[in-house]
Structures are given as structure tokens and as C-alpha cells.
Amino acid sequence: MRDYPAPFARWLAGVSLLLLVELGAVLSFVLGVANDLLRLTLGTAPLSGAVSTSQSLPTLISRDLVPNRGYYTGEEWAGTFLGLEPKYAWLIRVALVVVYGAVWCGWLWFGYITFRRHYRVADWTPTDDIIDRLRSHQWGKFGMVIVALFLLLALFAPVVSPTTMEQNIQDPYSNQIQYFSEETGEVQTTTAGAANRQSTSVGSVARNVGPWEYDNFNRFHPFGTLPSGKDLFTFLAYGARISLFIGVSSMLGAGALAMSFAMISSFYKGAVDLALVVTSDSIQALPVLMILILAAVVFSNTWIATVYNGALLFIALFTLIYWPYLWRAIRGPSFQVAEEEWIDAAKNYGQHPAQIMRKHMAPYIVGYMLIYASLTLGGVIISVAGLSFLGLGITPPTPEWGRAISVGQPYVASASWHISLIPGFLITLVVTAFNAMGDGIRDAVDPQSAEGDEATAAAAGGGGA
């Protein structure tokens, strides 16, 4: 790389450019997370100032650049992007985000190709085959596209939402909006909360703001409104964040546990393995939903339930509950790898057990781990939604998809059908997408594996708590 820096420099320049246009958002995200962590550990939040400064930095793709909130003066739209109708302004912004995401994906791929062409000495590696198989797996690619869109929705929730979280959901009565009143024929000001009260969706045609409609205050609702009059799309975009956060974190936790345990049990076998089998059996014997409900109730008034609106509690719970399922699923492959002669060879030249696991076992197991983690992730998302549906999940007013389904449930058969059905459909889509992605990875990692093998079914079944 030192001898031939040009291609790498070119790629790096692209990355910086992509980061630069979103500098404010990236910085405020990173600083925000750091700040929250500090607040948790130290009790103070020394970075709050930096966070607000970074939020004021210019970002290319932001709601300020392409505003969609405005009012209709009777002849034209004021306050929106280029005077366009809010829905088009919003669509342009969403499109920009999608394009930005796509450019990132493309650039990362280009980076990989650059690495392959200029820097990697080997002209073929086993990973190449895996990637080639993944590239030709249509169902897996479909899954990955949906998952990528879901990621964008979560990451760019503040940008793709037609309104903001503070204004519309958390603190509607402290925020003013302007609108054009047809009665008086002039622009008037009211609070978002007051406006919400008149934009509710509660079943009757007269009192319903459906998908792709404007309310009486010139506000555009791509998915309609909630019974409280809040914007459903905004609610779901922020809800995606928390679902994804819980899903990914708990799968990272459970995955790391499962993988270490699988390698330890297959390397040492015997009593260690037996102890793990007994432990995981005991955990798997517990009724998952019961435990979740119980824990949610027991811990509901403790500090742990307040961290990230209860998300931390669920991450811990899902990690503890799901590692046995993942461990079971990868124990077989892990034992298979442990039987290979190269493990003996490494022992023979004195390699340390930890290094044997890391270098000579982990590369073979991590693929399987990805498969089962993505299959189970869907299950976690469903579980969180299910708990929120029961009123035990994430604390209000933090948005969570399950709660949208729950509050919309009485209106399913009415004009306000969208409140339940849209989030329900989205959950199904996302879970299917994660499954499709898992299938794709499985066929890429392990081309011989037959369709619908037992372990997959078990992991997926275990996921649907």
C-alpha cells in the first residue's frame, strides 16, 4: 500500500467527501452516543455542548435543505423547497437519502474491488467464491436491499420524517406551526399539539387522515396519522431506530456468547460441553414470552428500565435468552471444524488454544453465526413489537412499531385501517428480509446445505417468541 497509494487515496477521498456532506449528522450522532454513554457511566454529560454545536453544522441532506413544511397561501406554497407541494418536497428528500445510501454501498463495493485489484497479493481467496455466490442469489439480494432500506430509515429517521420528533411526538404543545386558514383566508399560527388534535385518525371518514393525505393544517402524512393525530411515518421511522438498535445489539451480544461457547465446547468437549448443554437446555426450557413479561414487570421501576427507554433491559434479556438457540445452531458446524486435522496440526506446533479458536475455527463458524443471527434478528424485532403491543415494551412516548399496531387495533376494520396495517406489513417485510438475507448467506457460505434444514427452522422458530 505504501508503494502504490494512488488507488487507495482515490477511494479514501471519496469516503471523506461522502462523510463531509453529512458531517453535522455524523458528528452529532457519534458525539451523541458518546455523550449518552458518559452520562450512564459518569452521571454527567460533558459533551452536551459539542453535540449541539455539531447539530448546527451544515449537512447536505437535511430537512433544512429540502424543507417540506409550509403552508398554502391559496395560490402557492410558502416555506417549502422551491415552492413545491410538501409531498413532492418530502419525496425529493427521501429520494436524496436513498441515493446517498446507494452511493455509499457502491463506493464500499468499489473499495473492495480496488483492494482486490491493487493491494491483495492473492489473486483468489475462498471469500471470493462466497461473495460471488451471494451476488447471484436473487432472494438474498432482495433481503439485503430491504434491510439496507430499513437501515437507512433508522439512520436517517430525522431526515426522512415529514416532521420532527420533538415537534410532533415528544413535545407538541411547545412547538408552533403556521398554516393557511381557509375560513379567515390568512396565515395563522397554532401549536403542533392543537393541530394534532384536529388531525386524528379514529375510524370515521370525517375524522381520519389516511396515507398520502394532507390534514387541515397543510401537513403531509405519507402514512396517515395515529389516533392521537401524530404523524405515523415519523413515528415508524424513529421506531425503526429502536427496533434495530435492540435487534442488532442483542444479536451481537448473543452471537458473541454463542460463538465463544460453541468454540470452547467443541475444542474442549467432554464436561465443558456437557455443562453448556445443560445450561442452554435449562434456558431453552423457559417460556420466552413469560420470562420477558415477567422481567419487564419486575424491572419496570428500576433504573435499568429507564436506560434508553427500557431498551437496555431488553437487550440484556434477549442476549441471555437467545444465545442458547444460536449456540445450538452453530454447535454442529463448530464440532465439525474441531475435528479437522489442521486443529491437531496447530496443537502439534504448540499454538495456544485461544489462537487456535480465533485463527483456525472462528473463520469457519462466523458465516453460520451470521445466518442464524439474521434469522433470529427478525424474531427479536417481533418480540419487542409483541411486548410493546402488550404495553410492556419500550416506554411511551418513545415510538415503537408494536405500539402503533396496538393503538391502531380497534380501527382495523374502519377508515383508519392504516394505523395497524402499515406497521404490521412493515414488520413482516423486514423480518422476511432478514430471513432472506440469512438464506442468501447460508447458500453462499455452505453451498451444499440442503433447503430447509432443521437447524434453520429451529432458529427461526425460536425467534418468533
Partner 1 sequence: MSKMNTTPEQEHQATTADDEVLVSVRNLRKHYGADSFLSDDPVKAVDGVSFDIHRGETLGLVGESGCGKTTLGRTLIRLETPTSGEIRFDDTDITTLSGSDLKQWRRNAQMVFQDPDSSLNERMTVGELIRDPLDVHDWKTKSERDERVRELLEKVGLSENHYFRYPHQFSGGQRQRIGIARALALEPEFLVLDEPVSALDVSVQAKILNLLRDLQSDLDLTYLLIAHDLSVVRHLADRVAVMYLGHIMELGETERLFENPANPYTQSLLSAIPEADPYAESERITLRGAPPSPRNPPEGCPFSTRCPTKIRPEKYRSVDDDVWRAMEELRGILRERARTDRSIAMIARELLGLETRLSDIDEIVEEVFGGVDLPPELSTHVDRVVHEVTDGNPEAAQSYLKREIGGPCDTDTPEYYTVDDDGRSSYCHRHTAEYDPPSPTLRSE
CB of 275 to partner 1, least distance (A): 14
Residue 48 or 114 having the CB closest to partner 1:
114
Sign of torsion over alpha carbons 237, 242, 247, 253: positive
**Which run of H or of E encompasses 144?**
helix 138-155
The CB-of-129 to partner 1 minimum distance in angstroms stands at 9
Give the nearest distance from C-beta 440 to partner 1 in angstroms.
20
∠ CA 57-58-61, rounded to 5° = 130
Tell me the CA distances in angstroms from 174 to 190, 309, 459, one per residue in order.
10, 22, 47
> Distance between CA atoms of 22 and 55, rounded to whole angstroms?
11
Closest CB 360 distance from partner 1, rounded Å: 5
C-alpha cell at 123: 489473486
For partner 1, the closer of residues 360 and 442 by Cβ is 360
At closest approach, how far in Å is the CB of 265 from partner 1?
16
Q: In this complex, which beta carbon is closest to partner 1, that of residue 216 or of residue 348?
A: 348
Secondary structure string (H, E, C) spanning 149-173: HHHHHHHCHHHHCCCCHHHHHHCHH
> Longest Cα pair distance anywhere in the chain, in angstroms?
89
Residue reference for cell 398554502: 72
Handedness of CA 250, 256, 259, 264 (dihedral sign): negative
The residue among 43 and 349 lying less far from partner 1, judged by its C-beta, is 349
DSSP string covering 329-360, please?
HHHHHHHHHHTSHHHHHHHHTT--HHHIIIII
Cell numbers 429451529 label which residue? 458
| Phi, psi at 10, each rounded to 5° | -60, -45
**265 vs 383 by CB, closer to partner 1:** 265
Are 38 and 44 a contacting pair, CB within 8 Å? yes
- Residue from 228, 93, 212 nearest 158 by CA: 93
**Measured from the CB atom, is 43 or 350 closer to partner 1?**
350
Amino acid at 255: G
Select 330 or 381, whichever has its Cβ closest to partner 1: 330
**Closest approach of partner 1 to the CB of residue 212, in Å:** 51
Q: From residue 87, how far is each of 9, 119, 224, 337, 340 by CA, in Å?
A: 40, 47, 12, 55, 60
Residue with cell 409483541: 386
Task: Provide the minimum distance between the beta carbon of 121 and partner 1 in the complex, in angstroms, as a whole number.
Answer: 4
By beta-carbon proximity to partner 1, the closer residue of 46 and 353 is 353
Task: Supply the minimum distance, in Å, between the C-beta of residue 150 and partner 1.
Answer: 31
Q: Give me the residues that bind partner 1 (CB under 8 A), please.
A: 121-126, 270, 340-342, 344-352, 355, 359-360, 363-364
In the bound state with partner 1, the residue whose beta carbon lies nearer, of 212 and 342, is 342
- Minimum distance from residue 364 beta carbon to partner 1 (Å): 7
AA identity, residue 192: A
- In angstroms, rounded to a whole number, what is the distance separating the alpha carbons of residues 136 and 233? 34
